[in-house]
Amino acid sequence: MVAPIFIVGTGRSGTSLLRALLNAHPNIYITQEAGFFLWLPRLRKAETAEAWLRGYQNTAAGALLGALPVTARPGAPRAEAVALVTAMMQAKAARFGRRRFGDKTPMHITRLDAIFAAYPDARVVHVVRHPVPTVVSMMQMPWASNSALLNALMVRGAVDAVRPYTERILELRLEALLEAPREVLGQVLEFVGEPWDDAVLAHSERAPFEEDPRLPWLTDAERPLRAPGADRALPLGPRLTRRVEGICAPVMSRFGYTPWPSPGPERPWSVSRDLLAALRFGARTLRMTRPEQDDPDAVRPEAQLRWLFNLNPSPDIPDSARALPPLPPR
Protein backbone atom coordinates (compact mmCIF):
# COMPACT_ATOMS: atom_id res chain seq x y z
CA MET A 1 0.00 0.00 0.00
CA VAL A 2 1.29 3.49 -0.84
CA ALA A 3 1.84 5.81 2.10
CA PRO A 4 -1.19 7.99 2.87
CA ILE A 5 -0.76 11.76 3.08
CA PHE A 6 -2.11 13.77 6.03
CA ILE A 7 -2.24 17.57 6.26
CA VAL A 8 -2.50 18.96 9.79
CA GLY A 9 -2.25 22.31 11.57
CA THR A 10 -4.74 24.67 13.14
CA GLY A 11 -7.84 26.15 11.61
CA ARG A 12 -7.13 29.16 9.35
CA SER A 13 -3.45 28.29 8.92
CA GLY A 14 -3.54 27.34 5.22
CA THR A 15 -4.27 23.61 5.37
CA SER A 16 -7.19 23.91 2.91
CA LEU A 17 -4.98 25.73 0.41
CA LEU A 18 -2.26 23.08 0.58
CA ARG A 19 -4.89 20.36 0.10
CA ALA A 20 -6.22 22.13 -2.99
CA LEU A 21 -2.73 22.50 -4.43
CA LEU A 22 -1.89 18.84 -3.90
CA ASN A 23 -5.26 17.72 -5.25
CA ALA A 24 -4.34 19.38 -8.54
CA HIS A 25 -1.60 16.76 -8.93
CA PRO A 26 -2.75 13.95 -11.24
CA ASN A 27 -1.75 11.28 -8.71
CA ILE A 28 -3.16 12.71 -5.46
CA TYR A 29 -6.57 13.12 -3.83
CA ILE A 30 -6.85 14.17 -0.18
CA THR A 31 -10.25 14.15 1.53
CA GLN A 32 -11.64 17.29 3.14
CA GLU A 33 -11.71 17.12 6.96
CA ALA A 34 -13.08 13.62 7.23
CA GLY A 35 -11.79 13.51 10.82
CA PHE A 36 -11.24 9.75 10.74
CA PHE A 37 -8.80 9.66 13.64
CA LEU A 38 -10.98 11.95 15.75
CA TRP A 39 -13.86 9.48 15.44
CA LEU A 40 -11.97 6.21 15.78
CA PRO A 41 -11.84 6.48 19.60
CA ARG A 42 -15.47 7.69 19.78
CA LEU A 43 -18.72 5.82 19.07
CA ARG A 44 -17.80 3.68 22.07
CA LYS A 45 -20.96 1.61 21.90
CA ALA A 46 -19.94 0.32 18.49
CA GLU A 47 -18.57 -3.13 19.29
CA THR A 48 -17.84 -4.15 15.69
CA ALA A 49 -16.18 -2.50 12.73
CA GLU A 50 -19.52 -2.59 10.94
CA ALA A 51 -21.23 -0.68 13.77
CA TRP A 52 -18.41 1.88 13.86
CA LEU A 53 -18.71 2.44 10.10
CA ARG A 54 -22.46 2.91 10.39
CA GLY A 55 -21.98 5.42 13.18
CA TYR A 56 -19.21 7.29 11.38
CA GLN A 57 -21.36 7.63 8.26
CA ASN A 58 -24.02 9.24 10.49
CA THR A 59 -21.63 11.93 11.74
CA ALA A 60 -21.31 15.32 10.09
CA ALA A 61 -17.85 14.43 8.76
CA GLY A 62 -19.02 11.10 7.40
CA ALA A 63 -22.14 12.56 5.82
CA LEU A 64 -20.19 15.33 4.08
CA LEU A 65 -17.75 12.74 2.76
CA GLY A 66 -20.64 11.14 0.88
CA ALA A 67 -21.62 7.55 0.24
CA LEU A 68 -18.67 5.31 -0.62
CA PRO A 69 -18.58 1.64 -1.70
CA VAL A 70 -17.02 0.48 1.57
CA THR A 71 -18.35 -2.35 3.73
CA ALA A 72 -17.09 -4.07 6.84
CA ARG A 73 -16.35 -7.76 6.99
CA PRO A 74 -19.31 -9.43 8.76
CA GLY A 75 -18.52 -9.83 12.44
CA ALA A 76 -15.17 -8.06 12.13
CA PRO A 77 -13.91 -6.65 15.45
CA ARG A 78 -13.85 -2.94 16.01
CA ALA A 79 -10.07 -2.93 15.60
CA GLU A 80 -10.61 -3.40 11.86
CA ALA A 81 -12.14 0.07 11.64
CA VAL A 82 -8.71 1.38 10.61
CA ALA A 83 -8.92 -0.80 7.50
CA LEU A 84 -12.27 0.87 6.75
CA VAL A 85 -10.64 4.29 7.06
CA THR A 86 -8.04 3.21 4.51
CA ALA A 87 -10.75 1.87 2.21
CA MET A 88 -12.73 5.13 2.42
CA MET A 89 -9.71 7.26 1.52
CA GLN A 90 -8.83 4.92 -1.33
CA ALA A 91 -12.41 4.88 -2.64
CA LYS A 92 -12.62 8.67 -2.59
CA ALA A 93 -9.31 8.98 -4.46
CA ALA A 94 -10.42 6.37 -6.99
CA ARG A 95 -13.43 8.50 -7.89
CA PHE A 96 -11.00 10.99 -9.38
CA GLY A 97 -8.62 8.43 -10.84
CA ARG A 98 -5.92 9.04 -8.22
CA ARG A 99 -3.74 6.39 -6.62
CA ARG A 100 -2.39 8.45 -3.68
CA PHE A 101 -4.86 9.15 -0.92
CA GLY A 102 -5.01 10.89 2.41
CA ASP A 103 -6.91 13.42 4.48
CA LYS A 104 -6.77 17.06 5.55
CA THR A 105 -8.12 17.51 9.07
CA PRO A 106 -6.31 20.22 11.05
CA MET A 107 -7.14 18.67 14.43
CA HIS A 108 -5.50 15.40 13.41
CA ILE A 109 -2.44 17.20 14.75
CA THR A 110 -3.56 15.89 18.17
CA ARG A 111 -3.79 12.30 16.83
CA LEU A 112 -0.40 11.79 15.23
CA ASP A 113 0.26 8.92 17.62
CA ALA A 114 -2.72 7.01 16.23
CA ILE A 115 -1.93 7.96 12.63
CA PHE A 116 1.64 6.66 12.84
CA ALA A 117 0.48 3.53 14.70
CA ALA A 118 -1.90 2.80 11.81
CA TYR A 119 0.47 3.94 9.04
CA PRO A 120 4.13 3.90 10.13
CA ASP A 121 5.15 5.32 6.75
CA ALA A 122 2.48 8.05 6.63
CA ARG A 123 3.53 11.35 5.06
CA VAL A 124 2.38 14.14 7.39
CA VAL A 125 2.66 17.82 6.41
CA HIS A 126 2.21 20.42 9.14
CA VAL A 127 1.20 23.92 7.98
CA VAL A 128 1.82 26.92 10.23
CA ARG A 129 0.97 30.60 9.92
CA HIS A 130 1.87 33.66 11.99
CA PRO A 131 -0.21 33.30 15.19
CA VAL A 132 -1.74 36.80 15.11
CA PRO A 133 -3.61 36.62 11.76
CA THR A 134 -4.42 32.98 12.51
CA VAL A 135 -6.09 33.94 15.78
CA VAL A 136 -7.98 36.86 14.23
CA SER A 137 -9.22 34.68 11.39
CA MET A 138 -10.41 32.04 13.85
CA MET A 139 -12.39 34.70 15.74
CA GLN A 140 -14.40 35.25 12.56
CA MET A 141 -15.39 31.58 12.21
CA PRO A 142 -18.70 30.19 13.57
CA TRP A 143 -16.93 27.04 14.82
CA ALA A 144 -14.19 28.78 16.88
CA SER A 145 -13.98 31.04 19.90
CA ASN A 146 -14.45 34.81 19.73
CA SER A 147 -11.64 35.10 22.27
CA ALA A 148 -8.18 35.86 20.88
CA LEU A 149 -6.52 34.43 23.97
CA LEU A 150 -8.40 31.13 23.78
CA ASN A 151 -7.54 30.80 20.10
CA ALA A 152 -3.90 31.60 20.88
CA LEU A 153 -3.87 28.75 23.37
CA MET A 154 -5.22 26.50 20.62
CA VAL A 155 -2.43 27.52 18.24
CA ARG A 156 0.18 26.95 20.95
CA GLY A 157 -1.33 23.58 21.87
CA ALA A 158 -1.32 22.37 18.27
CA VAL A 159 2.36 23.15 17.79
CA ASP A 160 3.21 21.59 21.16
CA ALA A 161 1.36 18.41 20.11
CA VAL A 162 3.52 17.96 17.02
CA ARG A 163 6.88 18.31 18.76
CA PRO A 164 7.48 14.57 19.38
CA TYR A 165 7.09 13.90 15.65
CA THR A 166 9.12 16.68 14.04
CA GLU A 167 11.69 14.24 12.64
CA ARG A 168 8.96 12.24 10.87
CA ILE A 169 6.97 15.07 9.30
CA LEU A 170 7.43 18.04 7.01
CA GLU A 171 6.67 21.50 8.41
CA LEU A 172 6.09 24.56 6.24
CA ARG A 173 5.03 28.14 6.75
CA LEU A 174 2.04 29.43 4.82
CA GLU A 175 3.92 32.65 4.16
CA ALA A 176 6.77 30.74 2.48
CA LEU A 177 4.28 28.79 0.37
CA LEU A 178 2.72 32.02 -0.91
CA GLU A 179 6.06 33.71 -1.55
CA ALA A 180 7.72 30.80 -3.36
CA PRO A 181 5.02 28.25 -4.31
CA ARG A 182 7.13 26.33 -6.83
CA GLU A 183 10.00 25.85 -4.41
CA VAL A 184 7.84 24.90 -1.41
CA LEU A 185 5.54 22.61 -3.39
CA GLY A 186 8.62 20.94 -4.84
CA GLN A 187 9.73 20.16 -1.29
CA VAL A 188 6.28 18.82 -0.40
CA LEU A 189 6.07 16.58 -3.45
CA GLU A 190 9.57 15.24 -2.84
CA PHE A 191 8.59 14.51 0.77
CA VAL A 192 5.42 12.60 -0.19
CA GLY A 193 7.24 10.80 -3.00
CA GLU A 194 5.57 12.21 -6.10
CA PRO A 195 7.14 13.83 -9.17
CA TRP A 196 6.78 17.50 -9.95
CA ASP A 197 3.76 18.48 -12.05
CA ASP A 198 2.96 22.07 -13.12
CA ALA A 199 -0.72 21.36 -12.41
CA VAL A 200 -0.14 22.10 -8.73
CA LEU A 201 0.47 25.76 -9.63
CA ALA A 202 -2.96 25.94 -11.30
CA HIS A 203 -5.13 24.36 -8.63
CA SER A 204 -8.12 26.60 -9.37
CA GLU A 205 -8.47 24.93 -12.76
CA ARG A 206 -6.98 21.49 -12.09
CA ALA A 207 -8.11 20.36 -8.62
CA PRO A 208 -11.49 18.58 -8.30
CA PHE A 209 -13.72 20.61 -6.00
CA GLU A 210 -17.12 19.31 -7.05
CA GLU A 211 -17.62 17.02 -4.05
CA ASP A 212 -16.25 19.44 -1.43
CA PRO A 213 -18.61 21.01 1.14
CA ARG A 214 -19.61 24.49 -0.04
CA LEU A 215 -18.52 26.35 3.07
CA PRO A 216 -17.08 29.87 2.74
CA TRP A 217 -13.99 29.22 4.85
CA LEU A 218 -13.16 26.21 2.64
CA THR A 219 -14.01 27.59 -0.79
CA ASP A 220 -11.56 30.47 -0.30
CA ALA A 221 -8.84 27.91 -1.04
CA GLU A 222 -10.19 27.49 -4.59
CA ARG A 223 -8.97 30.95 -5.63
CA PRO A 224 -5.75 31.33 -7.65
CA LEU A 225 -2.52 31.70 -5.71
CA ARG A 226 -1.68 35.24 -4.74
CA ALA A 227 1.54 36.64 -3.33
CA PRO A 228 1.16 37.81 0.28
CA GLY A 229 0.28 41.46 0.62
CA ALA A 230 1.74 43.99 3.00
CA ASP A 231 1.07 43.41 6.70
CA ARG A 232 -2.24 45.00 7.53
CA ALA A 233 -3.61 46.32 10.78
CA LEU A 234 -5.65 43.71 12.62
CA PRO A 235 -8.48 44.54 15.05
CA LEU A 236 -6.86 43.41 18.28
CA GLY A 237 -4.87 46.46 19.29
CA PRO A 238 -1.27 46.42 20.57
CA ARG A 239 -1.99 45.14 24.09
CA LEU A 240 -4.03 42.08 23.05
CA THR A 241 -1.77 41.41 20.07
CA ARG A 242 1.27 41.20 22.34
CA ARG A 243 -0.61 38.90 24.73
CA VAL A 244 -1.35 36.56 21.83
CA GLU A 245 2.31 36.62 20.78
CA GLY A 246 3.32 35.95 24.38
CA ILE A 247 1.14 32.85 24.58
CA CYS A 248 2.53 31.72 21.22
CA ALA A 249 6.15 32.65 21.99
CA PRO A 250 7.42 29.09 21.32
CA VAL A 251 5.63 29.12 17.95
CA MET A 252 7.08 32.53 17.10
CA SER A 253 10.66 31.57 17.93
CA ARG A 254 10.56 28.09 16.42
CA PHE A 255 9.28 29.26 13.05
CA GLY A 256 11.08 32.59 12.93
CA TYR A 257 8.08 34.89 13.25
CA THR A 258 8.63 38.46 14.36
CA PRO A 259 6.08 40.60 16.26
CA TRP A 260 3.16 41.68 14.12
CA PRO A 261 4.14 45.13 12.82
CA SER A 262 0.69 46.70 12.53
CA PRO A 263 -1.54 45.74 15.45
CA GLY A 264 -3.89 48.68 14.91
CA PRO A 265 -5.01 51.33 17.40
CA GLU A 266 -5.27 50.48 21.06
CA ARG A 267 -8.66 49.24 22.20
CA PRO A 268 -9.59 50.18 25.78
CA TRP A 269 -10.16 47.17 28.01
CA SER A 270 -9.25 44.83 25.14
CA VAL A 271 -7.71 42.15 27.37
CA SER A 272 -10.49 42.30 29.96
CA ARG A 273 -13.15 42.07 27.28
CA ASP A 274 -11.38 39.15 25.66
CA LEU A 275 -11.20 37.30 28.97
CA LEU A 276 -14.93 37.88 29.44
CA ALA A 277 -15.54 36.54 25.93
CA ALA A 278 -13.50 33.46 26.81
CA LEU A 279 -15.60 32.84 29.93
CA ARG A 280 -18.83 33.32 28.00
CA PHE A 281 -17.64 31.01 25.28
CA GLY A 282 -16.85 28.33 27.83
CA ALA A 283 -20.23 28.71 29.48
CA ARG A 284 -22.00 28.65 26.15
CA THR A 285 -20.15 25.49 25.15
CA LEU A 286 -21.05 23.77 28.42
CA ARG A 287 -24.71 24.81 28.14
CA MET A 288 -25.11 23.49 24.64
CA THR A 289 -26.18 19.87 24.22
CA ARG A 290 -23.53 18.00 22.31
CA PRO A 291 -24.71 15.49 19.73
CA GLU A 292 -24.51 11.91 20.91
CA GLN A 293 -20.97 10.59 20.31
CA ASP A 294 -21.22 7.10 21.78
CA ASP A 295 -24.17 5.38 20.15
CA PRO A 296 -23.60 4.72 16.41
CA ASP A 297 -27.35 4.71 15.83
CA ALA A 298 -27.99 8.01 17.63
CA VAL A 299 -25.59 10.41 15.92
CA ARG A 300 -27.10 12.85 13.42
CA PRO A 301 -25.07 15.04 11.04
CA GLU A 302 -27.56 17.93 11.14
CA ALA A 303 -27.36 18.15 14.94
CA GLN A 304 -23.58 18.07 14.88
CA LEU A 305 -23.33 20.77 12.23
CA ARG A 306 -25.85 22.97 14.03
CA TRP A 307 -23.86 22.67 17.24
CA LEU A 308 -20.55 23.32 15.49
CA PHE A 309 -21.72 26.35 13.52
CA ASN A 310 -23.10 28.06 16.61
CA LEU A 311 -20.10 27.75 18.91
CA ASN A 312 -19.02 31.35 18.24
CA PRO A 313 -21.66 33.79 19.53
CA SER A 314 -20.13 36.81 17.78
CA PRO A 315 -22.83 38.99 16.19
CA ASP A 316 -20.35 39.83 13.42
CA ILE A 317 -20.73 36.36 11.92
CA PRO A 318 -23.43 36.44 9.21
CA ASP A 319 -26.31 34.00 9.27
CA SER A 320 -25.11 32.62 5.94
CA ALA A 321 -21.98 31.30 7.68
CA ARG A 322 -24.15 29.38 10.15
CA ALA A 323 -26.33 27.78 7.48
CA LEU A 324 -26.08 24.02 7.21
CA PRO A 325 -24.55 22.89 3.90
CA PRO A 326 -26.52 20.45 1.74
CA LEU A 327 -25.55 16.90 2.58
CA PRO A 328 -24.69 14.49 -0.26
CA PRO A 329 -27.22 11.73 -1.03
CA ARG A 330 -26.87 8.75 1.30
Confidence check: pLDDT of 289 > 70: no
Which phi-psi region, left, alpha or beta, contains residue 6 (left: φ > 0; alpha: ψ -120 to 50)? beta
| Least confident interval from 135-139, 216-220, 288-292, 308-312 | 288-292
Find all residues with CB under 8 Å of 127, minimum gap 6, and list them.
7, 8, 9, 13, 14, 15, 18, 172, 173, 174, 177
Mind listing the pLDDT tens digit for each residue in 143-170?
Answer: 999 999 999 999 999 999 999 999 999 9
Q: What is the mean pLDDT of the chain?
A: 93
Average pLDDT on 275-289 reads 75
pLDDT in tens, 208-255: 999 999 999 999 999 999 887 777 778 899 999 999 999 999 999 999
Res 103 pLDDT > 60: yes
Going by pLDDT thresholds of 50, 70 and 90, the confidence category of residue 330 is low
Which pLDDT does position 267 carry in this prediction? Answer: 78
For the chain, list the domains and their CATH numbers.
5-314 (3.40.50.300)
CA 242, distance to chain mean position in Å, is 26
Give the pLDDT score at 291. Answer: 53
Q: CA–CA separation, 65 vs 127, rounded Å?
A: 23
Do residues 105 and 119 make contact, with C-beta atoms less than 8 angstroms apart? Answer: no
Instruction: State the pLDDT at residue 234.
Output: 81
Mean of pLDDT values over 91-105 = 97
- Provide the whole-model pTM: 0.95
For residues 270 and 237, is the Cβ–Cβ distance under 8 A? yes
The confidence score (pLDDT) of residue 143 equals: 94
pLDDT value for 329: 75
pLDDT over 90 (residue 207): yes
Nearest to 194 by CA among 25, 31, 30: 25
pLDDT of the residue at 282: 80
The tally of CA atoms less than 13 A away on the side-chain side of residue 274 is 22
Q: How confident is the model at residue 277 (pLDDT cuts 50, 70, 90)?
A: confident
> What pLDDT does 288 receive?
53
Residue 29 and residue 101 in contact, taking contact as beta carbons nearer than 8 Å: yes
Encode pLDDT of 11-58 as tens digits. 999 999 999 999 999 999 999 999 999 999 999 999 999 999 999 999
Residues in a beta bridge with 8: 126
Q: Does 218 or 285 have the greater pLDDT score? A: 218
